[in-house]
Structure formats: C-alpha cells, structure tokens
Structure 1
Amino acid sequence: METLNFKTTVRTPDAVAAISLGLNSIEQIDGWNLDLETPDRLLTVQTTDNRIADLVRQAVEKAGYQAEWIAP
C-alpha cells in the first residue's frame, strides 16, 4: 500500500463533502483523509497504485478546489 499526500485549498466540511464523490469514485483508492486542522489542509490518500496522483488532483479540481501532490 502506498500513501500519497496533497496540499489542498479545501477549508470546510462542506468542501470535504464536495470532493468526496470524486475521490470515492477512483477505484485505486483504498481510503483517504483530509485534515482541516493543518495549515496545508493535508489530503492523505491510501492506494495500491502510486501513479494516480493526477487522478486525485483532477477529482479535487473538478469540485472547485486545488490539490498539489507533495512528492516523497
């Protein structure tokens, strides 16, 4: 299992709900969490395929927010 981290512009629980549909539709995601308490609004994604960073970014952007992958 791989972990991908993203800095996001998501700031509210309503915004988390807005991105959840897109993230939940990505088959390779085993789970995800968005920490609104961190300054970077850190989105952590558990996946079996670490090549999905662009899919995650696109799903967040489709909901109207930004996500920047933090390379390990």
Structure 2
Amino acid sequence: MDTLKFKTNINCSGCLSKVTPFLNEEKDIKKWKVNLESENRVLTVETSNLNAEEVKKTVQKAGFNAEVI
C-alpha cells in the first residue's frame, strides 16, 4: 500500500463535498483525507494500484488542482 500526498486547492467543506464522489468512486483508492487546517490543504491518499498522476487526474475531474509533495 502506498501513501501519496498532494498540495491542493480544496479549501472548505463545500469543496470537499464536490471532490468526495470522485475520490470515493475510484475503486483503487482505499482511504483518503484532506487536511483543511493545513496551509497546503494536504490530500493524503492510500492506494495499492494508482500512481500520483492518476490520483491527480481524479482530483482534476472534480475541478481541483493537486500537486505532489
């Protein structure tokens, strides 16, 4: 299992509700969370099959940016 971290522009609970369906529908994401308290709004993803670029594309489908950190 890999843990990937991304700096995002997911700023609030409204943004979080928009990205949630996209991340939940990705069957290869086992667990994820966004730290809204962090200055970088860090998204942490646990996956065994996806690479960083694939997670980034999933976040972009929801209209948000994700940059690997």
TM-score by length of 1: 0.86
Can you give the 5+ residue segments of structure 1 that lack an aligned partner in the other structure? none
Shift of the alpha carbon at 1:55?
2.1
Matched, 1:66 2:62: no
TM-score by length of 2: 0.89
After superposition, give the CA deviation of every residue in 1:34-69 in whole Å (9 maximum; x if it has no partner).
Answer: 0000011000001112x4322211121121110011
Give RMSD over aligned pairs.
1.1
Moved over 4 A (4+): none
| 1:55 aligned residue | 54
| 1:9 aligned residue | 9
| 1:20 aligned residue | 20
1:26, 1:55 within 8 Å by CA — same for their partners in 2?
no
| 1:33 aligned residue | 33
Can you give the 5+ residue segments of structure 2 that lack an aligned partner in the other structure? none
The amino acid that maps onto 1:15 is C
1:4, 1:46 within 8 Å by CA — same for their partners in 2?
yes
- The 2-side partners of 1:62 and 1:28 are apart by 16
Identity across matched positions, percent: 38
Q: How many residues align?
A: 69
